[in-house]
Amino acid sequence: MTILLKRARIIDPSQGLDMTGDILIANGKISGIGEDLFSKSDDGTEILDCAGLIAAPGLVDLHVHLRDPGQTHKEDVFSGCRAAAAGGVTSLLAMPNTTPPMDSPERVEALLSKAKDADAAVYTAACITEGLRGEKLTDLAALRKAGAIALSDDGQPVKNTACLLEALKRGTELGMTVTAHCEDKFLAEGGLLNEGEVSRLLGLKGIPNAAEDCGTAREIAAAASVNAPIHICHVSTKGSVELIRDAKRRGVRVTAETCPHYLLLTEEALRKRDADYRMNPPLRTEEDRQALLEGLKDGTIDAISTDHAPHTPEEKEDFLTAPNGSIGMETSLAASLTALEGVLSVSEVVEKMSCAPARILGIPAGTLAIGANADVVLFDPRRKWTVEENALHGKSKNTPFKGMTLQGRVLTTIFHGRKVYDIR
């Protein structure tokens, strides 16, 4: 199938491109970029008029919980990738804290085999430790051979620091990205939301910033001690931003991500006692939010991910007992554009959501270069829309952006040359 995208504003930070022109897609690949490619099309070419729209490399989400295997009533590979497509996400990294955990080659192979027919490219992280217990390393080489490209005990830090150091060393040798959930469990124990004004108002135990900051400091120190790269997940505090900034200045090989909900919301949302606003790490203060914006602006924070964490309405019904987490792939671009207006340019947002995540993971994505996979998102940066949770495409509806008006709407997503989402 051949597709010609006409008169788009083409933004591709991987090539330094910001131009008005055409993109020709053939046989699942980018076959041409130029000012007028109509002459290179044929009678069978589908022509899309993209005037007023931005064409960018498909988004790459570094942090997704597909709940597959074991909790597919919340999400599965196919529903998760439908939600991804609706948000312009064409590649994603699945976290390994599934049921059972992604700690064996057989489970890695099964997930990747199932995902071959999905509407996005699914990559997976494998567990650092057996059963996510933090004590004994998995067979990292076997997991890499099975197809895992990253390592994580996401949901909790690696309990045994000796295991973490060994994973950092061997992961580097195997070409696997180590991603870290930074949290001091002793400080966070029993907390339901950020420790601060709102937690005191509600009379609930909070999670102090120090829980994340202490975890971030440990991971940075571990990586520095063996000169290995490490990626810090879902940064939410001013302290973590400062720790990462200092580490980068010292030459530590650290990268970091934050999420749209930390950029657009604060602990004030928890006054409603609505569990859709409960996640871990929790929504923090306005001071923390501003620090995250500055961290994105100065390059301390490299990427924006979603930490897409589906839960059923029944699970989220009780504010005090509900599990942490919110969904985010379908709203990630719009929420980021809304939060970052006047902070980052559209090109810089695309860099944080597509090109940089692809580089961190070392995957063939995040570019519109000739010969690359034709993964393209078409969006209107000016179109405003209101998030209706029941109109979203995944199985679960626990979005923290419900009822909000966001700016920037994904209209079409092309994955490997195939339209997987289109509301034009």
pLDDT band at residue 326 under the 50/70/90 scheme: very high
At 205, list the tokens: 């135990």
Spans of all domains in the chain: 2-55+374-422, 59-361
pLDDT digits (tens, 9 = 90+) for 181-240: 999 999 999 999 999 999 999 999 999 999 999 999 999 999 999 999 999 999 999 999
Which are the contacts of 116, defined by CB distance < 8 A and separation ≥ 6?
none
Burial of 164 (0-12, 13-18, 19+ CB in 10 A): buried
- CATH of 59-361 among 3.40.50.2000, 3.30.1330.10, 2.40.50.100, 3.20.20.140: 3.20.20.140
12: annotated active-site residue: no
Task: Please give the pLDDT value at position 343.
Answer: 98
pTM over 0.85: yes
Where do the H-state alpha helices sit in 300-340? 313-316, 332-339
CATH code of the domain occupying 2-55+374-422: 2.30.40.10
Nearest to 259 by CA among 293, 223, 220: 293
- Candidate list 22, 61, 276, 307, residue with the active-site label: 307
CB-based contacts of 34: which residues, under 8 Å, 6+ apart?
A: 21, 22
Q: What is the pLDDT of residue 39?
A: 83
The pLDDT tens digits of the residues spanning 4-33 come to: 999 999 999 999 999 999 999 999 999 999
The 10s digit of each residue's pLDDT in 273-282 is 999 999 999 9
Tens of pLDDT along 146-159?
999 999 999 999 99
Chain segment 340-368, per-residue pLDDT in tens: 999 999 999 999 999 999 999 999 999 99
Largest CA distance in the chain: 68
65-78: average pLDDT: 98
Res 424 pLDDT > 90: no
- Please tell me the predicted confidence (pLDDT) of residue 50: 97
Q: Do domains 2-55+374-422 and 59-361 have the same CATH topology?
A: no
**Ramachandran bin of 15, using left for φ above 0, alpha for ψ from -120 to 50, beta for the remaining angles:** alpha
Grade residue 1 by pLDDT with cuts at 50, 70 and 90.
confident
Whether the per-residue pLDDT at 422 is higher than 90: the answer is yes
| Confidence (pLDDT) at 42 | 82
- Provide the strand spans (E) within 52-158: 54-57, 59-64, 89-94, 121-126, 150-151
- Residue 260 CA: distances (Å) to CA of 226, 332, 333: 32, 6, 8
Query: What letter represents residue 240's amino acid?
Result: S
> What confidence score (pLDDT) does residue 232 get?
98
Per-residue confidence (pLDDT) for residue 356, from 0 to 100 = 98
> Residues 315, 322: contact at Cβ < 8 Å?
yes
pLDDT digits (tens, 9 = 90+) for 257-270: 999 999 999 999 99
| pLDDT for the residue numbered 43 | 81
When computed from its CA atoms, the radius of gyration of the chain, rounded to whole angstroms, is 21
Percent of all residues in the chain with a pLDDT value above 90, rounded to a whole number:
98
Q: How far apart are the first and last CA of the chain?
A: 19
- Determine contact, residues 233/259, Cβ cutoff 8 Å: no
What pLDDT, on the 0 to 100 scale, is given for residue 230?
98
Q: Above 90 in pLDDT, residue 321? A: yes
Q: 10 Å Cβ neighbour count for 91? A: 26
